[in-house]
Amino acid sequence: METLPTRVNCFSFPEIYRPKSFHPVKVKLLLYKQSTEPRARTICACGEFSLESLKKKKKYYENSPQNVDLPTVHPKSKKKPYVVPMKKMVAEAREARALAEKGIDKPLEPPKNGILVPELIPVAHTVLENWKVLIKGLSQLLTVVSVYGCSKCSQIHIGPTGHEIQDCTGSGSNRRNSFHKWVKGSVNDVLVPIESYHQFDPFGRRVKHETRFAYDRIPAVVELCIQAGVDLPEYPSRRRTEPIRMRGKKVVYNGGYVEEPKPRRAEDCTSLLYELDTYGAHLAQNVPSSPADMRKLAESTLKAYMTVRSGVQELMKRYSVKACGYCSEVHVGPWGHNVKWCGAFKHQWRDGKHGWQDARVDEVLPLNYVWHMRDPYGTPIKAALKRYYGKALAVVELCVQAGAQIPDVYRPLMRLDIIIPDSEEARLVA
């Protein structure tokens, strides 16, 4: 056997024994010294220490993190960042302006030209059906799992009793020492409702402030599915056969304006609203009677939520959804509405108008985080140990407490591998 001694200033490696037929893998290590600049050296490595193994380990830890923190909360005093970079939007506007000056129409592809995308119609139907399953499942699980919401702030808690962490920022929190004032929660606390105006023709007349009461407000997910190809008699939508033409920002041809059908009476839409809207979800029936049924219901509800989220993300890649850069208002369509009710940062400068920009999935389906309880009926959450607890989405936490398996995507956020110490041991933990 031939020996290959390797010795450096900063580290000392043992001698590596290898056969003559072994071809070493060269790995560059960055060695640091106090008095010199970093420099690269080449050492020999055996088969267990190679670039391929390092890349695999790095890729594994990047794709499967052990613990992650909550995403940073965007300050309300600043506008949300754009989804599309500003340079790209300026370049596209410059190209459209150059074509308009030459009298050339702007090239539009479905669905930007008003024509449906055939391959996305089944996706829209799948999203709408799972949306119904999600609302019905949550309403039934609320009869078994307790949900509490603070009446002074937007925080909720899922468990037998509300937690005692002093982090309430609502009105009168100073008098209550930042303790929450818990009340019984509903589906709207778990699944935050985001509504949008329903338009018969999204490429027609815009919703004005004076005509805002002439349009129905329905969940944004439902409106997105309707514009993607789902036909609901209660909420009709115009289906174009000829594409619209635009020259710059001006619509040259849109097929003419069509008179919108008269809205149906509320009594005719009651049954559909109970299935599509979270406000009618309190009329739940067929409550699970056994633990096996409850576990099955929790699994189906969690699967429906993940299907809805992935389907909405796929639809939003092609269909336009606008969100206000200052508040939580969302509009499904190529342009935002002109209703003046934005009360966010510096709304006086905009006369109450919204600052429309491309929306994200998290704005259509907001991420509502709650504290994760490993044992709902065990030791309650303590304020002194809150840095050891994980968090989870409210829908996921509700389904997990009802018996569903934790998806691998949400495990790092729950911090399941961290051992929660006792109150006396917390000060000894580094």
Could you state, in order of their start, the residue ranges of all structural domains in the chain?
Answer: 2-63, 86-139+191-364, 143-185+367-428
Question: Are 120 and 315 within 8 A, CB to CB?
Answer: yes
Closest to 220 measured CA to CA, from 96, 94, 362: 362
CA distance 98 to 243: 22
Residue type, position 85, single letter: P
Closest to 414 measured CA to CA, from 180, 223, 158: 158
- What's the whole-model pTM score? 0.82
Question: Residue 24 above 50 pLDDT?
Answer: no
CA distance 121 to 125: 6
Closest to 354 measured CA to CA, from 388, 322, 306: 322
Q: 232 has which bridge partners?
A: 235
| Residues 313-318, mean pLDDT to the nearest whole number | 96
Q: 370 has which bridge partners?
A: 392
Q: Give the per-residue pLDDT at 318.
A: 95
pLDDT, mean over the chain: 82
Question: Are 372 and 390 within 8 A, CB to CB?
Answer: yes
Question: Are 177 and 313 within 8 A, CB to CB?
Answer: no
Question: Are 15 and 4 within 8 A, CB to CB?
Answer: yes
| Residues 134-162, mean pLDDT to the nearest whole number | 92
Question: Residue 281 above 80 pLDDT?
Answer: no
Model confidence band, residue 42 (pLDDT cutoffs 50, 70, 90)? very low
